[in-house]
Structure 1
């Protein structure tokens, strides 16, 4: 019986090729979108699934209160390690201190490379579940050791066995390779950890870390933990919450609250506002999940509309079948069989589309998704998708067609009824409501991105290059290198800084000044710079003056930004002294000599943070900032810069970053989301238009004789076009009126997450309405004009 149903279904599809193409093509696109989105969502939800103890791993976070505003982040003080090991060890299986991920110069023989990695304590391989393929898994217990990822080992040693070989790190000290581990997968927080050096080496090689051993105010470190099997993350959080406040009086005023952020939240729920967890990328998971469901719904609506619209053609077939004994249930199975066949063919086509475009999708989404050929869960979900889509798309047509009365059909008295087209009209309205809402949402997302992109950044990004200087080889050579770079003609100015231009690496507090409000808790971004910093960045001095090498007193000078001036609550900050309130070692006061224009160094969607730029008198820099010669091409300038660099640092690889590209990375995530949303919106509109095209074609075909009579009686092509188009146009206009308030409510709520945001303008909604109407007219007009231009003699001869 089932085989017979499929045969009849196949014959119907072959007989109505246009109808079949629209149905199968629309469903295939909808299902391809669902599969793509499903793979993307699965990749997001399985982030960090590489770790076998994922449910037990967490990172220590802390919240601190400054003037009533709570800030939250993963930076913690070094003394916390000893406090947790001494008093709370039973709560943890592993407790690991770690540095921030940074690029480091690694050299073996004549090969010198730069790779990102971390300093970590010896339990790192166990906590991170590293797959050690060569050497000793416990190799980090040796202070002068280093673990390398397989790709880094290959880059340094080629086919040689790296175990026991010596690597020169930062051209400063030699470490022996004790282990090689499989590269950590891309879909992982630690995927860019390509080397691991013992934490003890980090401490031994840096005096400031040694001095931080008892300093609770220096939050410059990370801590990862694996909790014990007999407890939970929430229970441990409750136990350690007030440890810092209880053990250190100096920081108690900031009400530090410690907590553990579970690994499962690192990627999807890492945003905090005023101390409260507010989500993160999980909102995009929900967004694309909803988009996928709606796109599939639009494709199913096409099937339902076209199936019910052709009801009059199938009426005699139903009548005859019922007369010779077919029951309603058998007819329902028949039409559901047709639906199943269409969906099955559409799914096969959808898989082909996914395989064809998966690489491009990965590039756009910055993913490394592999098609899950061997994943039985994927195929099980696919079967569920096929069945559910078949039921969704075919249930209404099956019930509708099987309900015809055979007597009325065979007598020729069957009429579809004045309200028979109402469900189709409702579905068309639903289709275009979703499409118009998608259009509005996509335009607003793109506007928000462009709004932040066009925000004045306070300095000139173009032609600005930064070179990392993570080696002691650079110490004491700043003036020499500046002289050589300027002499080369490729650089018009050079400076140094302790942080990259596009980030803030350090914050300071504990200062007093004249007029400071009682109880005020300051929090200032801190960057140490050479005197030419403002000149190299083209920072505008709006009050006072810039640093000058001619004034010896400038070694204790500081520049502040406009926001800091407001933050400090002073009208004339030039000449004001900032004193360290440390009673034991206050140090000399810093004198404010100037105010610079606000510079966007963190998120372009957030307000500029109050910042101070301090004269670097101890060679405490991490970057050269080079302003390239605008009279030459960038490639020509960089070739000269590299030559000068190699003359003085032959053992260090030449690595550089364009500041405008680094700044552009701040928009990368939103731009990827916006691009994906735009593509899915375009597909949703295309699927809706596909259905509209099919319906128009059917209506024009059904009214062939009417169009012929009207033309004989003098109707023009415009009259016929208007007759066939106006009904669909009305439906789309109704869709717009429904979509606008819905889209406004959703997108306005989304924009509230951004302090620096675009204002919703009326023209955005007008543009969406105009676009929807234009698309509808283009879609409908092809069939309408085709029908209107037919010879009426041919139309009337059909009798």
Structure 2
């Protein structure tokens, strides 16, 4: 019996090769998307949940609250805190079971570490060769960090690997990259040839769904004598494991009382007006960290809303593929009506029909699944490289995710079969014959499925268009500076001022270098804040962003407009306590215009020590974007209404004490290769043993949007697949309709119907479905579009035409898909068609 059903199913596949191909390709595309995107989004939404006791671990942070110019409280949320706080809280609050601290590389300071955050590291590889590389994903941490998080080690004891000063634990990738397949245990790592670490362990590579991007972790025993120097170091990420049953919010409230008791005196002694500045604490659940970004965070913040949207996309696309399958099955009944009537009259039982349709569905779905597996194997590498999809092996898929995927597969096989069987069983042989004669008899369910399919495609197309347009506007934004042909060279941060100045003079001699300037930081770096006191406003304190020190060429080099006052002098004479501020700063100070700010005095916490230094405003510049264009609401209180940051420019190292080791050069593209080769030669002669690192400023600035670019690519790819499936469905439907109505078409042609008339007749129901889908789809797309746009700073609008354009594009694509079918239907010779009727 089964073999008979199988033979019939194979004959049906061969009878209509176009319909079979449409079914298989549509389902294969749907299964491919589902098998790739569903595990990925579930994995991302479960960020940090691989960590032991993740639901009891929180991160402690500080909120800097201050009164603004309108006497309204604003806040700056800091992900970091003073390192000593962990010991105090751990001993005074019984709700805390244990704690650990991590000092991530981006937060390194020369005051607390034997090196800065930019450093050159070296190892002696297995061949005895000294290999230099730029230090990345490095951190200091408490010795218990691996046991605290339950991070598995390949080599070493979690309790002992970081017990000694100078001990270092590296990742599997780090060990393989620098030491091959040999053991790295006992080998050394050098930083600037002065700081030596001994590798004592290897930890398993961390998964992608964590905010901790680590390749090397050193024991903080080496730096403990330095990190407790000031209450406002604020460079440690502090994690607490709470005891079972602890109320996090209640503990947070108690901690804020602790702040009032312990920190207000320190704040007052440091010169802050405690009536205008308050410190509060927060405890952030570990699993929420990857989806937020506060001051001191340097991971790419994921969007829960976007991931939830992407989590629905595979279900929508798979549903679209099944809708195509169901509609084409029902349409094909007209071709096999004699078979169905004969079997029904011969006494076929309901179970016989169910078995037949189930086997046909199983055959189609199995072929589609196998083809989907082939697609995944073929495109696994580009999926990982360009879309950042890590396709897990079956053994790595969580049980819950595997159960959902299995349930969806079973549903896809039996639901369409059950529907087709029920439609057949619920009709008498006479009704089945009538359904052939009245070809325009469409069920409500069939219409609903088609409208759902087109509506889903419209929502995806509108959302993809919004993401593409928004990110394109962000990437092409000037940020308020001239970044044309700018190359940035990172000189050694520990080089002497004399050597740096000599190298700068050498750079100026190259004919390919049109302009250059030096600074401690550049736009695109992780923003660096300074504490500023406004004496004329009751010693109001606030945070501002600084480049850490610039030269006199910085403003003209980047094309920044000087609104009032003057630039720094070329020699720097008289500018040791001079600052230039942005218009956003002037507005924040409550001054009426830029000229009024010139000559005002601010006190700046220099971070060279514990003293504040008075600085005089000598100029005001047009505001530009020092930070990214993301809108992180909790940490955006330092921006004006247009998203511009409050910026302070200082001269050289006068206030900050930091070297200007970022050298920005304007090099036309035609001179790029030869000029860079000459610069590298000069660099290596002056800084032997140091890496020559350079980057395009545009790439450096846009790296903050790499996660967004990947998300954009993901959405576009799956939107294209959704359109592909919708086109397949429409192609199959119109082809079936053209076949069913071919007699009516040729009769109309005999009576003078034009090609437009014929096309209109065949597309009438589709036009109705599409119109209803547009009415439903655009309102449904508005919410996810607005949620996405809300991630960015103000200044980007999205008008009604941005909803209309993608819909028109989709309609044009759909019409182009069926144009050949419509053309063939309209061109058929009436004699050839009617000859067989």
TM-score (norm 2): 0.86
Distance change in 2, residues 1:575/1:11 (3 Å): same
Q: What is aligned with 1:544?
A: 565
Name the SS for the 2:736 alignment partner: helix
Distance change in 2, residues 1:161/1:753 (3 Å): closer
Q: What is aligned with 1:557?
A: 578
Q: What is aligned with 2:746?
A: 708
Q: What is aligned with 1:524?
A: 544
In 1, Cα distance between equivalents of 2:610 and 2:320: 70
In 2, Cα distance between equivalents of 1:797 and 1:95: 86
Name the SS for the 2:356 alignment partner: helix
Distance change in 2, residues 1:497/1:87 (3 Å): farther
Q: What is aligned with 2:712?
A: 674
Aligned partners of 2:305 and 2:787 also within 8 Å:
no
Alignment of 1:100-119 (within 5 A): 100-101=105-106, 102-108=117-123, 110-116=130-136, 117-119=138-140
In 2, Cα distance between equivalents of 1:46 and 1:723: 51
CA deviation map 1:320-376 (0-9, x unaligned): 222222233432343233223222222222222222222212122234434436758
Q: What is aligned with 2:260?
A: 245
Aligned partners of 1:184 and 1:191 also within 8 Å:
no
Name the SS for the 2:206 alignment partner: coil
What is the CA distance between 1:745 and its match in structure 2? 4.3
Distance change in 2, residues 1:619/1:656 (3 Å): farther
Q: What is aligned with 2:127?
A: none
Aligned partners of 1:314 and 1:401 also within 8 Å:
no
Q: What is aligned with 1:651?
A: 689
Give yes or no for the alignment of 1:590 onto 2:626: no
In 2, Cα distance between equivalents of 1:414 and 1:128: 67
Q: What is aligned with 1:388?
A: 411
Alignment of 1:5-16 (within 5 A): 5-16=5-16
- Equivalent residue for 1:211, pick from 205, 229, 238: 229
Q: What is aligned with 1:312?
A: 334
What is the CA distance between 1:74 and its match in structure 2? 0.6
CA deviation map 1:645-696 (0-9, x unaligned): 2112112222223221011112222222222111211111111111111111
Give yes or no for the alignment of 1:80 onto 2:85: yes
Aligned partners of 1:170 and 1:470 also within 8 Å:
no
Structure 1: 5+ residue stretches without partners: 274-278
In 2, Cα distance between equivalents of 1:160 and 1:19: 57
In 2, Cα distance between equivalents of 1:100 and 1:244: 27
Aligned partners of 1:306 and 1:694 also within 8 Å:
yes
Distance change in 2, residues 1:310/1:146 (3 Å): closer
Aligned partners of 1:577 and 1:589 also within 8 Å:
yes
Name the SS for the 2:19 alignment partner: helix
Distance change in 2, residues 1:203/1:308 (3 Å): same
Shifted more, 296-305 versus 41-50: the winner is 41-50
In 1, Cα distance between equivalents of 2:808 and 2:2: 48
What is the CA distance between 1:502 and its match in structure 2? 1.2
In 1, Cα distance between equivalents of 2:239 and 2:492: 25
Shifted more, 299-308 versus 143-152: the winner is 143-152
Name the SS for the 1:604 alignment partner: coil
Aligned partners of 1:725 and 1:781 also within 8 Å:
no
Aligned partners of 1:442 and 1:681 also within 8 Å:
yes
What is the CA distance between 1:631 and its match in structure 2? 7.5
TM-score (norm 1): 0.89
Q: What is aligned with 2:648?
A: 612
- Equivalent residue for 2:624, pick from 599, 608, 621: 599
Q: What is aligned with 2:113?
A: none
What is the CA distance between 1:405 and its match in structure 2? 0.6
Distance change in 2, residues 1:631/1:272 (3 Å): closer
What is the CA distance between 1:304 and its match in structure 2? 1.8
What is the CA distance between 1:563 and its match in structure 2? 0.7
Distance change in 2, residues 1:186/1:170 (3 Å): farther
In 1, Cα distance between equivalents of 2:215 and 2:439: 71
Aligned partners of 2:490 and 2:692 also within 8 Å:
no
Q: What is aligned with 1:276?
A: none
Q: What is aligned with 1:350?
A: 372
In 1, Cα distance between equivalents of 2:751 and 2:146: 87
What is the CA distance between 1:119 and its match in structure 2? 1.8
What is the CA distance between 1:37 and its match in structure 2? 0.9
Name the SS for the 2:394 alignment partner: coil
Q: What is aligned with 1:574?
A: 598
In 1, Cα distance between equivalents of 2:435 and 2:622: 82
In 2, Cα distance between equivalents of 1:167 and 1:779: 61
Aligned partners of 1:91 and 1:236 also within 8 Å:
no
What is the CA distance between 1:592 and its match in structure 2? 0.7
Shifted more, 747-756 versus 437-446: the winner is 747-756
What is the CA distance between 1:428 and its match in structure 2? 2.4
Q: What is aligned with 1:69?
A: 74
In 2, Cα distance between equivalents of 1:170 and 1:647: 17
Structure 2: 5+ residue stretches without partners: 68-72, 107-116, 125-129, 268-273, 296-300, 632-642
What is the CA distance between 1:188 and its match in structure 2? 4.9
In 1, Cα distance between equivalents of 2:605 and 2:722: 61
- Equivalent residue for 1:95, pick from 86, 94, 100: 100
What is the CA distance between 1:113 and its match in structure 2? 1.7
In 2, Cα distance between equivalents of 1:536 and 1:285: 41
What is the CA distance between 1:241 and its match in structure 2? 4.1
Alignment of 1:228-627 (within 5 A): 228=243, 231=246, 236-249=251-264, 250-251=266-267, 253-267=276-290, 269-270=291-292, 280-372=302-394, 375=397, 377=399, 380-407=403-430, 415-416=437-438, 419-420=441-442, 422-469=444-491, 471-489=493-511, 491-514=513-536, 516=537, 518=538, 520-532=540-552, 533-570=554-591, 571=593, 572-579=596-603, 587-606=612-631, 607-615=643-651, 616-617=653-654, 619-621=657-659, 623-627=661-665
Aligned partners of 1:59 and 1:261 also within 8 Å:
yes
Name the SS for the 1:656 alignment partner: strand
Aligned partners of 2:523 and 2:627 also within 8 Å:
no
What is the CA distance between 1:475 and its match in structure 2? 4.9
Alignment of 1:702-781 (within 5 A): 702-781=740-819
Shifted more, 96-105 versus 320-329: the winner is 96-105
Aligned partners of 2:121 and 2:192 also within 8 Å:
yes
Distance change in 2, residues 1:66/1:328 (3 Å): same
Give yes or no for the alignment of 1:684 onto 2:722: yes
What is the CA distance between 1:594 and its match in structure 2? 0.9
Name the SS for the 2:419 alignment partner: helix
